[in-house]
């Protein structure tokens, strides 16, 4: 019975995380962490580590799918990637000394607000508008955004994907498909850095939970990414918004149960 419960929890956690990753470039840790903590009593620091580890392959396969559809900007995202990685490592180290590793309700309400924004005020940036920003301005904005996103991802273990999408669309003017593709590309490396830091500092989690979450997240992320790349801009805006709102509502409910 315990094994069955573990499989079911990891399945639903992986499904929610994979769908969020493939459609909206969200961090898998935002879903997996709270669910493992509440339903399987996994220590908070290790639960976040499992979520970040699950995010690595899920984000990588999603990024590859977006790349095949020419919706990934690697070259211009490198300053953002580097600054995010540095601050994720710093944040993960500092997070060990924080008293509460659960993601705060404030972050979830922020995600709901952002989800409503995508539905009511959809992103209408074009690839031409995205390229209009000067290289110097883009680098400065990318570094500032990366410091903020990396700090959040490292300290909280979640929310990095949500913030990346916001920075890419609202701060750097990315078209939505390219923003999601670039977000999951960056999250591949961010999740690896954060997950490795969590395991080195906090110890390895239960291998069963880790393997199950990685597999289920990977499967659902692949499915979601394929659908997202075929969706029209208006439809993708709505999907991203709904995914953010539903995910946040579920996490708030899970945190309430805790």
Tens digit of each residue's pLDDT (9 = 90 or more) over 96-149: 665 554 445 556 677 788 788 888 888 888 777 777 777 788 888 888 888 888
Closest CA to 130 of 84, 91, 168: 168
Residues in the chain: 258
Q: In whole angstroms, what is the distance from residue 90 CA to residue 96 CA?
A: 11
Angle at 115 between CA 73 and CA 162, to 5 degrees: 45
**What torsion do the CA atoms of 242, 35, 190, 132 make, to the nearest 10 degrees?**
10
Identify which of 173, 115, 181 has the alpha carbon closest to the alpha carbon of residue 142.
Answer: 173
Q: What is the pLDDT of residue 159?
A: 56
Whole-number Å distance between alpha carbons of 52 and 69: 25
Q: What is the mean pLDDT of the chain?
A: 83
- DSSP H helical ranges for 121-232: 127-131, 135-156, 160-166, 176-202, 207-230
CA distance 36 to 19: 17
Question: What residues contact 70, with CB distance under 8 A and at least 6 apart?
Answer: none
Report helix angle 2-24 to 233-257, nearest 10: 150
Whether the per-residue pLDDT at 47 is higher than 60: the answer is yes
pTM of the model: 0.83
| pLDDT digit string, tens, across residues 206-254 | 889 999 999 999 999 999 999 999 998 889 999 888 888 887 787 777 7
In this prediction, what percent of the chain has a pLDDT beyond 90? 26
């Amino acid at each position: 019975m315990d094994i069955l419960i573990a499989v079911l929890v990891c399945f639903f956690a992986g499904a929610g995380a994979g769908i969020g990753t493939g459609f909206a470039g969200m961090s898998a840790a935002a879903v997996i962490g709270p669910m493992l903590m509440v339903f399987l009593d996994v220590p908070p620091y290790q639960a976040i580590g499992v979520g970040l580890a699950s995010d690595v392959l899920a984000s990588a396969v999603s990024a590859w799918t977006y790349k095949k559809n020419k919706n990934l900007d690697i070259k211009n995202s490198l300053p953002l990637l580097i600054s995010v990685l540095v601050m994720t490592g710093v944040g993960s180290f500092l997070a060990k000394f924080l008293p509460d590793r659960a993601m705060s309700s404030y972050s979830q309400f922020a995600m709901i607000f952002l989800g409503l924004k995508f539905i009511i005020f959809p992103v209408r940036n074009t690839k031409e508008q995205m390229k209009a920003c000067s290289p110097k301005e883009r680098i400065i904005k990318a570094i500032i955004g990366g410091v903020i996103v990396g700090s959040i991802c490292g300290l909280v273990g979640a929310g990095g994907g949500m913030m990346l999408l916001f920075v890419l669309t609202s701060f750097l003017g990315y078209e939505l498909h390219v923003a999601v593709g670039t977000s999951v590309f960056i999250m591949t490396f961010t999740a690896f850095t954060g997950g490795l830091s969590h395991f080195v500092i906090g110890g390895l989690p239960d291998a069963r939970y880790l393997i199950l979450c990685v597999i289920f997240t990977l499967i659902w992320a692949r499915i979601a990414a394929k659908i997202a790349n075929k969706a029209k801009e208006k439809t993708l805006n709505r999907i991203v918004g709904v995914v953010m709102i539903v995910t946040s509502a579920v996490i708030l409910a899970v945190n309430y149960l805790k």
